[in-house]
Every structure is written in structure tokens, then in C-alpha cells.
Structure 1
Amino acid sequence: TQIAQLQEENKQLMTNLSHKDINFTEEEFHKHEGMSERERQVMKKLKEVVDKQRDEIRAKDRELGLKNEDVEALQQQQNRLMKINHDLRHRITVVEAQGKALIEQKVELEAYLQTKEQEMGSLRAELGKLREKLQGEDSQNGEEVKVEPNNDDCLSESEKMAMDLKDPNRPRFTLQELRDVLHERNELKSKVFLLQEELLYYKSEETEEETRSPQPTPIIQSKPSTQPESGIKRLIFTAIMPMVAAGLIPDDPTLQPIRRLVSLVGIFFFKMFGTVVSFCMTPC
């Protein structure tokens, strides 16, 4: 009897346990299904967030690449500008050096021009004196000597004021004008040389006339002596005068007629061809 009761109780417990397991599994299943749907929604949201962040990261990477390219381009442009700046500084230094050299050259040219102007003034004064002497001697001897007029001697007062070296407003000269001034100076020197030769020639003629006047000589005897005298002069001029010019033979007063001949030759060449022929008559 007790065994039967125990078996029945056992059966009841088994049935109760089976009912409880069935109820528990259904509830757990429903709970598990609810949790899976939430997780799916959360996973979807997380996936969307991850995809969005991935797209943002890719966009940021692209922007970063573009920024890097811009930075490289700016660095190249900076290097190019630095090179240009260095070249410009070098050019500026070269131009400054050239400017300083030009200023120094300008100062030297102004000083040189001042000295040449002073020399020209002295040459003009000497030329005026020589002309006065020649005119006085021509008036005494009754001879007329034509002297070429020089426009540089006829300076007006305004030009003389402009030639003042202390005047800051005096006119400046270009390189071509300076060359013209030097050419004019050389011409004046050549004219002074010719005038000196003419003056010496006229003085020597006066001395010869004074020495010949107390000793009159017949005209018939002077004619045959002209031909050998020209041959002697030619011989002295071609053979002896180069040795005198070289200093091999000392200068002698007996060569005074040859001096006159040389001066006449120089005057003839100047009047015919416009060139100055100078001969060294003393040891150089």
C-alpha cells in the first residue's frame, strides 16, 4: 500500500514537473525571441553607425590627401620663391656695385673734364697771344697772314658763366660731347704747333734779312747755288735728321735752315690735307 502511494505521488510529481518545464520553455522562448529582435535592431544601428563612420573616415582620408598635396605644392612654391628672392638679391647687389662704379666713373670724368677745360682755357689764351704776336709782326713787316677763325674764342658771357666749375647749375657733358671736346683740344694743339712753327719761320727770315742786308750779293750768283742747296737739304733731311731725332747726333745750330724746311713741309701738309706732320728736331 505504501509503495502504491509513493508511486502515485511520484507520478503526480512527474506530471507537475512536465507541466512546469513546458511553461518554462515557452516563456524562455518568448524572452529569447524578444532579446534577439532587440539585438538585431541594435546591431543594425551599430552597423549603420559603423558604415557612416567608415564613409566619414574615407572622406577624411581624401581630404587629408588633398591637404598633403596642397602642402607639397606650397612647399615647392616656397622653394621657388626663395630661389627667385636669392636671385633678385644677387641682382640687386650687382646693380648696386655697377651704380657705385658708374658714380665713381662719373666723378672721374667730371674731374677729367675740368682739367681738360682748364687746359683748353690755357690753350685758348696761348693761341690768342700767338695770334696777337703774329698780327703785330705782320703789321710791322707789311705782310698779311690769314688765320682761321675759331668759334671757341668767341664765348659769350653766359657761356663763360656756364663754364664756372663751382656753379652747381653748370651744363653737364655726355660722352660724345667729351670726345668732341678732346678732338677740338687736339685740333687746337695742332694749330698752336703750326702757329709756333710759322712764328719761328718768320723770326728766322727776319734774322736772315738783317744779316744779309749789310752784305748784298748779286742775284746771278744765287741762282746756281739753289740747286745744290736743295740736294744738300734733301740729303740732310733723309740721312741726318733721323739720326738727330734718334739722339745719335747732337742738335746743331747749323741745322736751322732744315728746321724752316720741316716747318714749311708741315704747314703745306696741313693746308693741303688737313693733317699735322710733326718732326722731332731735338734729341727725344
Structure 2
Amino acid sequence: SQDPEQRLWEAERRERALHGRLACLEEQNRQLLGQLAESQSQEDSTARKEREVMLRLKEVVDRQRDELRAQAHEIVCKSRDTEALQEQLHRFMAMNEELRHKVAVVQAQLKSALEQKSDLEAAILQSQRETSRRSRTALERQQPEPGVEGALSPSEEPQQQDGDRSPAHCCFSKEELQQILQERNELKTNLFLVQEELAYYQRELLNEERIPSFFLDAMKSNIKKQRKKIRAKMLGTTEESAS
């Protein structure tokens, strides 16, 4: 299918050509009228033929006038369709920009949560290492002499392991853990809302019959990319593995 502007240009060109032909025919009409006035004295057969020619010319002029009116109406309709498509294009561009902004906000929140998670994991690991080092140092200092009981009783081993783990667990208070869980739930909620909004706009685009196919393909591709990015951020993976 041709571009609306191309079709409009073709219609205008045909209109100009028909106007030229109409002017030429009107000029011929005037000439024939002059000839008819000059040939009043000729035979009736000649006058009859001239009248027939005039009738044919009138039919041609009327037909071309009707064609011009139909083409003018078509041009007006095409212009309205073009304006409607431009308005829809601007509206969808604004919707796309709003979606980009919302996705960027969610991605920033996800990035912050992932960074906080990494910091917490690093702090836990460092605390566990420090606890293990202190435990080994304490065991080396308290190691009994040879011949004395060398191994700890089974009841003492769990206590020592609990002692090794307790400092790591005490690094975070109950309020901090609740805050982490709350932030995670908020991110999941934001992700769900953005995905629902993307799905809604996608349904709107697919149900719109007057949207060009290339614009639909571009919008669907952009929505798919945004979903992959959000999923990758939530899973903490790369975009290729999330796809």
C-alpha cells in the first residue's frame, strides 16, 4: 500500500490534469458555439450534427466534473485519515515515553535493592570469616595437653557451632530484616503493575485497526525488550540468560 502523502500527491496531480482538460474542452465548446452561430444558414443536417457534438461534449464535461468532485472528496477523506494517524502516533509516542520512565524507575529500585543485597551478603560473609578466625584462634589457645581428652563431647560441638553462627546472625536486627523483606515486596508489586500496564498497552495496540503494521511490530519489540530487562533485574541475571 502506498504512503498517504504519495496518494494525496497523485490525486492532486490528476486533479490538475483534469482541470486542464476541462479548460481545453470549455475552449472547444466556445469555439463550437461560435461556429454554430456563424453557420445558422447551413443545412439542417449540419446543424443537427453540431447539436449532437455539443451534447457529447456536455456529457464529457459533466462526467469529468463528477470525477473531479469525487476525487476532491477522496482527497479530503485521505487528509482526515492522515491527521488521525498522526494524532494516534503522537499519543502512542507519549504513552511509550511514560512507560520508559516507569520502567526506568522500577529498574533503579531493583538496582538499589540488588546493591543492598550484595552489601548485606558481603557483610555476612565477612562476619562469618571473622567469627571462624576467632574460633580457630580460641581453639588453638585452649587446646589440651596430649593424653588429656582430645575431642570435644558431642554435646559441646553443637554449642560451638551455634557460637560460630550467632555473631553472623546478630549482624542484622529484626527491623532490618523486615525492612529488606518490605522493599522486596514493594519491588515485586511495582514489577507486577508495570507488567500489567505493558500488557494493557499491548492489547490496545493490537486491537487498533488503523495502526500501521511496522509501528505495531516496533512497539511489540520494545515491550518485549523491557520485560526481559525487568525479569533479568529481578532474577539478578544477565539479559541474555533471562530471555
Report the structure number with the largest CA radius of gyration. Answer: 1
The structure whose RCO (Cα within 8 Å, separation 6+) is larger is 2
TM-score grouping bracket, smaller chain normalisation: 0.3 to 0.5
TM-score by length of 2: 0.40
TM-score by length of 1: 0.35
